[in-house]
C-alpha cells in the first residue's frame, strides 16, 4: 500500500458513522475505491445489491440501501425506493440485531468476521440473512461475486460504527 | 547372481515394433491423399520465393472489414467491444467454415483450398451458445485466483480428529468430482467450430476453474491429514455426465444440476468450515461454480428457445433428466459425502444427528434452487423431478 493510499484510508476511517445510513455504505464505497489494487486482484464485480435492515427505518420499518457495483468500484449508493428495488439483482434482508452482530464481529476481527459471521454463513439457510431475487440467475450474482461482497462489508472494520440504542 | 547364470544363455529381447507405427502410417496416408491441395500451395509459394517476388495479396482490403477500429471500454478491450465493430459480431446460426479461419477474416475466397476439420460437429450455434457467455468469459478471466498463493495456507489449524477427517473426506469427494467438469467440456470443446469462439473461450475458463478446484481440495486434504475414501456412487454420477449423448444434455446435467448442487455444497462448506483457510477456499470456489451454473441455465434456455420442434426437444430433455437426476442422486446419497457434511454441520461426530437434520433443510433448499433454475431455462421440471424434495432420512 502506498503512502498516499495509507493516508487516504486513515482519513476515510477517522470518524464514527451511524448504521444504518447511506453514509455508512458510502464510506464502504470510498474504501473500496481506495483499495482498488485489492479489488482488481479479486476481479470485476458487476451487480446491483440492496441491503435491507428490516427494522432499521422510522418506527421500526424496513430501511434499504442500494449499492451499484461496476468493475472494481461501488459507483452508486442510494437509499432504495420501491422503483430502485426493481433494478436490484438481489436483496439481503436482515434485522438490525443481525447486521449489528456481523459488523461487530468484523470490527473485533480487524476487518475479518469470525467463522460464524460471514455473509454466506448468515444467509445460507435463508436465515438470519435472507438473500432473495425474483430471478435465480440474478440471485446467483450474490455467489458469483461473494468474495468481493464480503470484502466490501469487511472494510467496515476500518472505522467505528454507531448503532441506535 | 546364480552360479548357473551365463550370459550366453540369455534370450534376445523380442524385436521391438514402434508403438506408433500404425498411427504414423495413417497420418502419412491422410496427407498424401490431400497432397494435390497442400503441395500445390507449397509449390506456388516456392516458385514465388525463388523468383524473389512478393504477393502482398493480404494487403487487399476489398472483402475485409478493414478500418473499423475497435475501441476499448473502461475495463479494457472486451469481446463485446470487438463484436460491436460491424462485421465481427454476427454469430452464425450454423457454422459452415469448418477450419481454423477466424470469423470476420477474408476467408471465403480460400475455402476451396482449405482442409475440413472432421471433428467440428457441433455446427449449430444453439447446441452450445448462451446469451451470457461473453460476460461470463470476461468475468472468469478477471476473477481467476491461485490455489497456491491466494489461500492463507499458513493459517491452517489442526482440528479435532472427527472434524479433520470429515473435512478431508469432503475434500476427497470434491477432488474426485471436480475434474469431470474439466473433462466433459474438453470432450466437446474440440467439436465446436471456431465461429463460436466465445463459447470455446468460456469453456476453457471452466476447465481452468476445475483444474484449480481439484488442486485446492487435493492440497486441503493432504495438508490436513490425507485423502480419504473414493466412492462408487460418485463415479456413476460422473460417468452419467461424461457420457451424456449431446452437449446440451451434458451441460444441463453438469452445469445446471450437478454444479448447482455442488454450489450448495460449497456454500455449506463455507458455512461449516472450522478454519478461515477452509472458508476462503469454499468462497473462492463457489464464485467459479456460480458462473458455470449461469452458463448452464442460459445454454439450456437458448437450446430450448430455438429448437425447431420445441415439444420434442423438451420431451427428450425430460427423458434424459429422468435418468440423469437419479444417477446424480446416487452420488449425493453416498455416506462418504452426506456423513462428513453432517458431522461438520453438527460440530462433531457426537452431533451427527443434528447435522443430518440441518442437512435435510439444505437438501430441500438445493432441490428448490435446482427447480427454479430449470424454470428459468424454460424447462418445467417440477412435475417430473425424480429427486425427492425432502431428504429421505428417518431420524433415529
Q: Are the C-beta atoms of residues B204 and B136 closer than 8 Å to each other? A: no
Task: For residue B271, give the nearest of A112, A120, A141 by CB distance.
Answer: A120
pLDDT of residue A11: 53
Mind telling me how many Å the CA of B89 is from chain A's nearest CA?
Answer: 23
CATH number, domain with residue B266: 1.10.620.20
Structural domain count, chain A:
1
pLDDT above 60 (res B249)? yes
Q: What is the mean pLDDT of residues A13-27?
A: 90
pLDDT of residue A6: 52
pLDDT digits (tens, 9 = 90+) for B32-59: 887 778 899 999 999 999 999 999 999 9
Residue with cell 472434524: B163
Domain residue limits at B343: 125-376
Q: Is residue B51 part of a domain?
A: no
Q: Say whether pTM exceeds 0.95.
A: no
Q: Are the C-beta atoms of residues B256 and B293 closer than 8 Å to each other? A: yes
Structural domain count, chain B:
1
**In this predicted complex, what is the ipTM?**
0.88
Q: What is the mean pLDDT of residues B140-158?
A: 95
Q: Is residue A165 part of a domain?
A: no
Estimate the share of chain A in helix, then strand, then coil, as percent rounded to the nearest 5. Answer: 50, 20, 30
Residue with cell 463457489: B286
- The residues on A that touch B, with CB distances below 8 Å, are 42-44, 46, 71, 112, 115, 118, 120-121, 124-126, 135-137, 140-141, 143-147, 150
Task: Kindly report the average pLDDT of chain B as a whole number.
Answer: 93
Write down how long chain B is: 396
| Sign, Cα dihedral of B360, B296, B292, B211 | positive
pLDDT digits (tens, 9 = 90+) for B368-388: 999 999 999 999 999 999 999
| Chain B partners within 8 Å of A137 (Cβ) | 132, 294, 297-298, 373, 376
pLDDT of residue B1: 46
pLDDT of residue B193: 98
pLDDT of residue B23: 86
**Which residues are paired to A94 by β-bridges?**
A53
pLDDT of residue A2: 47
Q: Is residue B71 part of a domain?
A: no
pLDDT digits (tens, 9 = 90+) for B327-362: 988 988 899 999 999 999 999 999 999 999 999 999
CATH number, domain with residue A110: 3.30.1050.10
* Grid cell listed for B261: 448442487
Whole-angstrom distance, CA of residue B113 vs CA of residue B171: 52
**Where residue B395 falls among pLDDT bands split at 50, 70, 90?**
low
Residue with cell 458510502: A26
Whole-angstrom distance, CA of residue B80 vs CA of residue B198: 10
Q: Is residue B26 part of a domain?
A: no
Q: Is residue B174 part of a domain?
A: yes
Domain residue limits at A72: 17-154
pLDDT of residue B392: 82
pLDDT digits (tens, 9 = 90+) for B188-215: 999 999 999 999 999 999 999 999 999 9
Q: Is residue B120 part of a domain?
A: no
Residue with cell 481440495: B217
Task: Kindly report the average pLDDT of chain A as a whole number.
Answer: 92
**Residue B211 vs residues B146, B176, B243: alpha-carbon distances, Å:** 11, 11, 20
Q: Is residue B63 part of a domain?
A: no
Distance between terminal CA atoms of chain A?
37
Q: Is B199 helix (H, G, I), strand (E, B) or coil?
A: helix
Q: Is residue B300 part of a domain?
A: yes
Q: Is residue B383 part of a domain?
A: no
Mind telling me how many Å the CA of A59 is from chain B's nearest CA?
Answer: 33
**Minimum Cα–Cα distance from B295: chain A residue:** A137
φ, ψ at B151 (rounded to 5°): -100, 130
**Minimum Cα–Cα distance from B370: chain A residue:** A136
pLDDT of residue B84: 96
Q: Is residue A133 part of a domain?
A: yes
pLDDT above 80 (res B125)? yes
Q: What is the mean pLDDT of residues B115-122?
A: 96
pLDDT digits (tens, 9 = 90+) for A86-142: 899 999 999 999 999 999 999 999 999 999 999 999 999 999 999 999 999 999 999
Amino acid at each position: 500500500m502506498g503512502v498516499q493510499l495509507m493516508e487516504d484510508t486513515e482519513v476515510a476511517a477517522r470518524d464514527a458513522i451511524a448504521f444504518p445510513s447511506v453514509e455508512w455504505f458510502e464510506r464502504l464505497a470510498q474504501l473500496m475505491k481506495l483499495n482498488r489494487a485489492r479489488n482488481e486482484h479479486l476481479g470485476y464485480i458487476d451487480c446491483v445489491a440492496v441491503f435491507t435492515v428490516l427494522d432499521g427505518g422510522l418506527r421500526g420499518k424496513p430501511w434499504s440501501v442500494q449499492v451499484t457495483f461496476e468493475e472494481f468500484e461501488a459507483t452508486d449508493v442510494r437509499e432504495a425506493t420501491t422503483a430502485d428495488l426493481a433494478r436490484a439483482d438481489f436483496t439481503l434482508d436482515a434485522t438490525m440485531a443481525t447486521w449489528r452482530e456481523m459488523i461487530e464481529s468484523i470490527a473485533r476481527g480487524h476487518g475479518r468476521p469470525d467463522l460464524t459471521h460471514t455473509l454466506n454463513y448468515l444467509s445460507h439457510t435463508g436465515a438470519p440473512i435472507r438473500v432473495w431475487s425474483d430471478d435465480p440467475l440474478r440471485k446467483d450474482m450474490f455467489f458469483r461475486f461473494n468474495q468481493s461482497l464480503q470484502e466490501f462489508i469487511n472494510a467496515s472494520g476500518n472505522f467505528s460504527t454507531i448503532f441506535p440504542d | 547372481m546364480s552360479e548357473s547364470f551365463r550370459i550366453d544363455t540369455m534370450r534376445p529381447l523380442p524385436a521391438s515394433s514402434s508403438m506408433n507405427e500404425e498411427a504414423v502410417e495413417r497420418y502419412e496416408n491422410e496427407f498424401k491423399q490431400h497432397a494435390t491441395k497442400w503441395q500445390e500451395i507449397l509449390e506456388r509459394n516456392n516458385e514465388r520465393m525463388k523468383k524473389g517476388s512478393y504477393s502482398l495479396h493480404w494487403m487487399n482490403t476489398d472483402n475485409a472489414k478493414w478500418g473499423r477500429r475497435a475501441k476499448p471500454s473502461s475495463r479494457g478491450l472486451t469481446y463485446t467491444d470487438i463484436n460491436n465493430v460491424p462485421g465481427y459480431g454476427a454469430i452464425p446460426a450454423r457454422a459452415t467454415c469448418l477450419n481454423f479461419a477466424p470469423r470476420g477474416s477474408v476467408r471465403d475466397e480460400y475455402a476451396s483450398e482449405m482442409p475440413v476439420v472432421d471433428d467440428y460437429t457441433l455446427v449449430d450455434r444453439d447446441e452450445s451458445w448462451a446469451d451470457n457467455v461473453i460476460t461470463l468469459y470476461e468475468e472468469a478471466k478477471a476473477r481467476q485466483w491461485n490455489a497456491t498463493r491466494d489461500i492463507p495456507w499458513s493459517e491452517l489449524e489442526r482440528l479435532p480428529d472427527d472434524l479433520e477427517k470429515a473435512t478431508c473426506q469432503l475434500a476427497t469427494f470434491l477432488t474426485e468430482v471436480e475434474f469431470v467438469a474439466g473433462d466433459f467440456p474438453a470432450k466437446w470443446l474440440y467439436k465446436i467450430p471456431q465461429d463460436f469462439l466465445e463459447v470455446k473461450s468460456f469453456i476453457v475458463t471452466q476447465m481452468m476453474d476445475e483444474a484449480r478446484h481439484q488442486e485446492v481440495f487435493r492440497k486441503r486434504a493432504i495438508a490436513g491429514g490425507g485423502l480419504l475414501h473414493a466412492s462408487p456412487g460418485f463415479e456413476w454420477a460422473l460417468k452419467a455426465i461424461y457420457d451424456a449423448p449431446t452437449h446440451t444434455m451434458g451441460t444441463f446435467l453438469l452445469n445446471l444440476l450437478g454444479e448447482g448442487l455442488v454450489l450448495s455444497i460449497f456454500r455449506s462448506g463455507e458455512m461449516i468450515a472450522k478454519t478461515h483457510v477452509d472458508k476462503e477456499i469454499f468462497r473462492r470456489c463457489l464464485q467459479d461454480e456460480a458462473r458455470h451454473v449461469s452458463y448452464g441455465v442460459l445454454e439450456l434456455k437458448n437450446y430450448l428457445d430455438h429448437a425447431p420442434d420445441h415439444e420434442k426437444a423438451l420431451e427428450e430433455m425430460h427423458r434424459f433428466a429422468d435418468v440423469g437426476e437419479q444417477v446424480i442422486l446416487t452420488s449425493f446419497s453416498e455416506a462418504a459425502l452426506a456423513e462428513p457434511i453432517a458431522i461438520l454441520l453438527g460440530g462433531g461426530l457426537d452431533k451427527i444427528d443434528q447435522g443430518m437434520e440441518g442437512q435435510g433443510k439444505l437438501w430441500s433448499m438445493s432441490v428448490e434452487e435446482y427447480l427454479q433454475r430449470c424454470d428459468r431455462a424454460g424447462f418445467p421440471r417440477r412435475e417430473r423431478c425424480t429427486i425427492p424434495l425432502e431428504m429421505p432420512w428417518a431420524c433415529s
